[in-house]
Amino acid sequence: AQYDHLICGKCLKSKPSFTKVQAPFLYMFPINHFIGKIKYNKKPQYIGPLASLLINSSTIPSTVDLIIPIPMHRSNLQKRGFNQAELLAKEMSNYLGIEIDTHSLKKTKKTIPQMELDRDQRLKNQRGVFICDDLKHKHILLVDDVMTTGATMEAATRVLLKAGATSVHVIVIARTPN
């Protein structure tokens, strides 16, 4: 089932900076099971099948010329050993033939895990955590695994646009149902 046509009430009240979000699945069984295995049980082998599902369940705008994964703070990356968003973006890049950029967008501040916070705390938690190199005239596909409130995507998108990106299209495997 496709859920990317739904617009949340918060987005209707306050238009986000990104152009569009595609989230072909809800964060429920079995998708949440596989994402959990990847992130918390160090099973990156599930990335390929999830990337395939994501690509086959989404429409990538023809204007996209750069794929950027949501970065992790270096301490979290060391702890996990991989960035699931980066692995997902690499699979998408290989399949779609669109360049991937894993260096321009950086997460400079360590934050409290978003899943432990409510909506307002999530928004505050993501303020000022990203920096970005020059991306003038680029149409970005911003990639992550799960979207809840959109706070991370909003913070990253604002930085990408400030760095000169023309547009930012967001794609995630799943969106939380609430």
**pLDDT, tens only, 14-57:** 677 888 999 999 999 999 999 999 999 999 999 999 999 999 99
As for how many domains the chain has, the answer is 1
Query: Is the residue at 3 inside a domain?
Result: no
Rounded Cα gap, residues 63 and 84, in angstroms: 25
Beta partners for residue 131, in sequence order:
106
d(CA 143, CA 169): 9
Pairing relationship of beta strands 25-26 and 167-175 according to DSSP bridges: parallel
Mean pLDDT of 65-86: 96
Q: Is residue 139 included in any domain, yes or no?
A: yes
Domain housing 74: 9-175
CATH number at residue 168: 3.40.50
The answer to whether residue 60 is domain-embedded is yes
CB 72 within 8 A of CB 83: yes
> Rounded CA gap, 147 and 153, in Å?
8
Q: Which of 160, 97, 164 has the alpha carbon at shortest distance from 132? A: 160
Predicted confidence band of residue 1 (pLDDT cuts 50, 70, 90): very low
pTM: 0.89
pLDDT at residue 4 greater than cutoff 50: no
Q: Where are the alpha helices (DSSP H) in the chain?
A: 9-13, 31-40, 47-56, 74-80, 84-96, 119-125, 151-162
Tens-place pLDDT, residues 76-111: 999 999 999 999 999 999 999 999 999 999 999 888
Assigned domain for 50 exists: yes
Q: Cβ(162)–Cβ(86) under 8 Å?
A: no
